[in-house]
Amino acid sequence: MASKLVDLLKTARPRQWVKNLTLFAALIFTGNLFTSTVWVRNFWIVTEAVVAFTLVAVAIYFLNDLVDINADKAHPFKRKRPIAAGRISKGTAIGVFTGASAIGLLWSQSLSPLFFVVVLGYWVLQVLYSLMLKNLEVVDVFVIALGFFLRVLAGAIVINAHLSIWFLLCVISTSLFLAVGKRRAELAILTEQSATAHRKVMGKYSPDILDAYLSMFSTAAFLSWALYTFNFYEQIPTPTAVSPTSLVLISRTLTINKWLMATIPVVIFGIMRYIRIIYDGARAESPERVILSDMPLLMAVGVWGLMVAGVLYLGPR
């Protein structure tokens, strides 16, 4: 019984639940996380949204493993997955998919009709991906990227928050970068094996074209973040940011509306580190695994988070 529960949990991919924390992005970037109204209401709404989204994502993981049984058996790591290895029956997988989908979608509807539409759109998109879109060149990458983007969008919609167009562009660019990185890592793993046997679309990609995509989207990711930091204070509904008199006296360069730009080098370092990891193959096949296991990248994410929080919440307003 215990081993059965462990197999169910493995198939639910708890490590990938980290991606659903991106629903908090909109709440954090409002700069109002610690106000009493937000804490009492919006924080818990987003927390519920994360749980609902996670249930829908878990349902998709079971469907994906069910559809990919034969392909996973040709993969050096995925063949050990419970469904591919025969430790979880097809009937059980279908039951979990149906139950988790129903609970997650109903929960989403209770939070917000528009949030439900986004979550439903994610569910439909992922079902189509599992059944057919994963075999279409370029389309497969866009679907993976849309999964990241819809999480951030859903987090904003559920609390009716405003998101900067530059921030959304950064999310889209970063999502495409991670999605292409996932494909490049798969190709690195399967170079000496049959990539096509694992996933048909892999036969349509070459290392050169994926490297070109990586270059394009990594550049777009850091440039869009840079543009967001340049325009951050201009996009606040009632800009009231001021600079400490002492800093102004030292240099106008140190005014508060330039401080968020200090995160740009950290972002560039994180992108460079991730690209390096991609060519290790197995390590980058799962973005959330990389972030949680690579110490330099984890430190970069931590430093970036502290710097952003410092500017948003500790800087003069």
pLDDT in tens, 148-164: 899 999 999 998 888 88
> What is the number of other CB atoms lying within 10 angstroms of the CB of residue 113?
10
d(CA 143, CA 281): 21
Distance CA 283, CA 294 (A): 9
Q: State the SS3 of 169-200.
A: HHHHHHHHHHHHHHHHHHHHHCCCCCHHHHCH
- pLDDT over 60 at 211, yes or no: yes
**82 CB-near residues (< 8 Å, 6+ apart):** 7, 8, 10, 11, 65, 88
Specify if 75 maps to a domain.
yes
In a domain, 14, yes or no: yes
Flag whether 46 is in a domain. yes
* Least confident segment among 67-76, 125-134, 146-155, 288-297: 67-76
- Model confidence band, residue 74 (pLDDT cutoffs 50, 70, 90): low
Domain that holds residue 74: 2-163
Q: Does a structural domain hold residue 170?
A: no
Instruction: Write out the two tokens for 178.
Output: 């991670």
CATH of the domain at 70: 1.10.357.140
Dig out the tokens for 97 from the structure.
């998919």
- Contact of 61 with 8, CB cutoff 8 Å: no
309 falls within a domain: no
Is a pLDDT exceeding 60 seen at residue 15?
yes
The answer to whether residue 62 sits within a structural domain is yes
160-185 pLDDT, tens per residue?
A: 888 888 888 999 999 999 888 888 87
pLDDT classification of 109: cutoffs 50, 70, 90: very high
Is 148:174 a contact under the CB 8 Å cutoff? Answer: yes
Tell whether pTM > 0.85: no
Residue 2: pLDDT band (50, 70, 90) is: confident
* Assigned domain for 296 exists: no
How many separate domains does the chain show?
Answer: 1
Mean local confidence (pLDDT), 276-304: 75
Structural element, H or E, at residue 111 = helix 90-111
According to the model, what pLDDT value does residue 243 have?
Answer: 47
Question: What whole-number distance in Å separates Cα of residue 135 and Cα of residue 111?
Answer: 34
Whether 253 is covered by a domain: the verdict is no
